[in-house]
Structure 1
Amino acid sequence: MVDDVPVKGTRLLSDVYKRCNIAICEPADYEEAMKNQNWMIAMKDDLSMIEKKKTWVLVERPRDRKVIGVKWVYRTKLNVDGSINKNKARLVVKGYNQIFSVDYSDTFAPVARLDTIRLLIFVAAQNDWRVYLLDVK
């Protein structure tokens, strides 16, 4: 006899099939995101967090340096049941434009999450690595 009650930590196959039929359409670029109010809010939220954390300062463009641009990356975050939790927009550096041994190691992420820093320090402590602090402007 087959029991219809799922075991704790598992899902019914019918629930898995329902979630597989979800089609999430994320914007391909900024112009497409501008057409949707939810994505506009997500971009404004990300910019306000960057400003709140003071992770960058606007400076004059150096004449002897190549400028590396940024782009928006869009992701739809889902709840466990497959419903949309929120739209997440991130402003990221176009690192693929860099040239190894010229400017490859000169770019830093505009935002560092605290849990990522904690994990890095934990791994460094476990492996007896030296950790250096750099203040980047």
Structure 2
Amino acid sequence: MTQIKCGIQKPKAYVSHPTNDLDFPPKSYEHALGIPHWKKSMEYELNALRLNSTWVLVPPPTQANIIDNKCLFKVKYKLDGTIDRHKARLITRGFTQTLGVDYFGTFSLVMKPGTIRVILTLALSKGWPL
């Protein structure tokens, strides 16, 4: 049964649009470098990638394509419509990759953390070796 059929309705939250041209997300990396709060958000994103050891800079392989990247910018708002933060994300354009040339396999976690917890709890309660 849907929320509307049950009589549950949430009030719509309206967000005011930016009035300052500097609050609109920039279209390019070069444009963002000239605006201090967008430059700060890009630095924050790069520092987060470095701290999490998400990537390592390596020399390009001779046979592989160089995968392009792009910065995405977004303004995050609070519920009252004021600006919460300016968010920058570095993404790769992985659709340019070729299987067997640029990558050889993919990995995706297929078991949920809750399932792992249940199996570990079961093994512990039954005295099974891990």
Compute the TM-score of the two structures, normalised by the length of structure 2: 0.63
Letter paired with 1:61: P
What SS class does the counterpart of residue 72 from structure 1 fall into?
Answer: strand
Query: Which runs of structure 1 show a deviation greater than 4 angstroms over 4 or more consecutive aligned residues?
Result: 99-108
Tell whether 2:51 aligns with 1:52: yes
Cα deviation code 1:84-136 (max 9, x no counterpart): 1000001100123335776477689xxxxxxxx7xx642894xxxxxxxxxxx
Unpaired runs of 5+ in structure 2? Answer: 1-7, 116-130
Shift of residue 10 of structure 1?
3.7
Show the counterpart of 1:92. 91
Unmatched runs of 5 consecutive residues or more in structure 1:
1-7, 109-116, 126-137
> What are the within-5 Å matches in structure 2 for residues 1-137 of structure 1?
10-11=10-11, 16=14, 19=15, 21-23=16-18, 25-99=24-98, 103=102, 121-122=111-112, 125=115
Which has the larger Rg? Answer: 2
Cα 1:101–1:64 change in 2 (3 A) is: closer
- When the two chains are superposed, the root-mean-square deviation of aligned CA atoms in Å is 3.2
1:59-80, Cα deviation, whole Å (9 max, x unpaired): 1110011111111000111101
- Aligned AA (2:75): T
Deviation for aligned residue 1:81: 1.0
The 3-state SS of whatever aligns with 1:59 is coil
Q: Give the % identical residues.
A: 29
Deviations 1:36-63 (A, max 9, x none): 1000000000000001011111111100
| TM-score using structure 1 length | 0.61
Aligned residue for 2:112, secondary structure, equals: helix
